[in-house]
Amino acid sequence: MTHAVSFHSATRIAIPDASATWPVEEVLALFELPFNDLMFQAQQVHRAHFPDGDVELATLLSIKTGGCEEDCGYCPQAARYDTGVEAKKILELDQVLEAAREARASGATRFCMGAAWRSPKDRDMDKVEAMVRGVKALGLETCATLGMLEEGQADRLKDAGLDYYNHNLDTAPEFYDNVISTREYQDRLDTLGRVRNAGLKVCCGGIVGMGESRQQRAGLIAQLANLNPYPESVPVNHLVQVEGTPLHGLDPLDPLEFVRTIAVARITMPKARVRLSAGRRQMGEAVQAMCFLAGANSIFYGDKLLTTGNPEAEDDRAMLAKLGLKTHASTLTEAQKERCGG
């Protein structure tokens, strides 16, 4: 069966065709399989679509930190929460390019630039476009996460050389109002529509462990899997509880439930790069190893993920080596590498 929901030619997504989607009940049934059966099915799907079994290394840099006007309950960058995150101006171009060079030297193949905005202003776009062009010239895949995009902004990013745009759905529609009130679910879908219409690849996932039920986790995966096409990259974040945010103090999610979420994402979006994102530091190697077995094949790589800690690059390399996992190779030719400085 083909599971899909198409975008309109404008910016909103179409109503799903009930005969051609992943119903939430079907996704929930995957979650409820015996653990070994779910892992076996996910590994079969993973091997069929990623026979090389490589792991993509992506680095995320906060190009504009703190001071965000939104009220996302998980986010330490929201201005209304007292989390100790200081609002800073957008980085200078040379700072971004230096970070990109370091990421490339450490083995990353994708470089993502994140900004704590509701949406970028025109003056911001000029600076971000220069960053995209500069990072692209270094031979890295480029990704940006800048909040909601207005008409024409995705096209500008595409023209600058952006490869991917990240805009997460965060959670299921029915749980969304428990987490965020300053933007609607449809606002997120509209931005994804503009990104697709501009010809950009989509990086879109969510956060688990925010107090949602298993059925609501299934609802998030169904939303992602029913996009047409589904995202090329699917970051699955484990909530990092930050003191001062409304979601601080929740009971932690069972680690095996997180592994199940990875497995279900792999089965329902077989060709996507499923990325272990926030929360890896808290998981430990054993849980991460199960996530790779469940079909995760991308990680954020480096010592910081926006404002929260991330396993050190050296630790990641040691873990991947211990598991016998190879990393996704750069697509640069030798001539391109020489022009980029190695």
The residues assigned a catalytic role are 68, 72, 75, 112, 143, 203, 275
β-bridge pairing 273-276 and 298-300: parallel
Q: What is the DSSP letter of 13?
A: B
User: Which SS3 state, helix, strand or coil, does residue 186 take?
Assistant: helix
- All residues at 6 or more sequence positions from 26 whose CB lies less than 8 Å from its CB, including other chains: 222
Closest to 258 measured CA to CA, from 233, 232, 287, 286? 287
Copy the structure tokens of residue 180: 């965020």
Pairwise CA distance, residues 195 & 187, whole Å: 13
The answer to whether residues 69 and 310 touch, using CB atoms and an 8 Å cutoff, is no
Burial of residue 267, with CB atoms counted within 10 A of its CB: 0-12 exposed, 13-18 middle, 19 or more buried: buried
> CA 297 to CA 163: how far, in whole Å?
19
Tell me whether the omega of the peptide bond preceding residue 76 falls within 30 degrees of 0, making it cis. no
Three-state DSSP at 238 gives: strand
Q: Give the residue among 179, 145, 163, 274 at the shortest CA–CA distance from 221.
A: 274
Q: Check: CB of residue 303 under 8 Å from CB of residue 278.
A: no
* Residues 116, 308, 86, 102, Cα dihedral to 10°: -80
Distance CA 177, CA 240 (A): 19
Residue type, 59: T
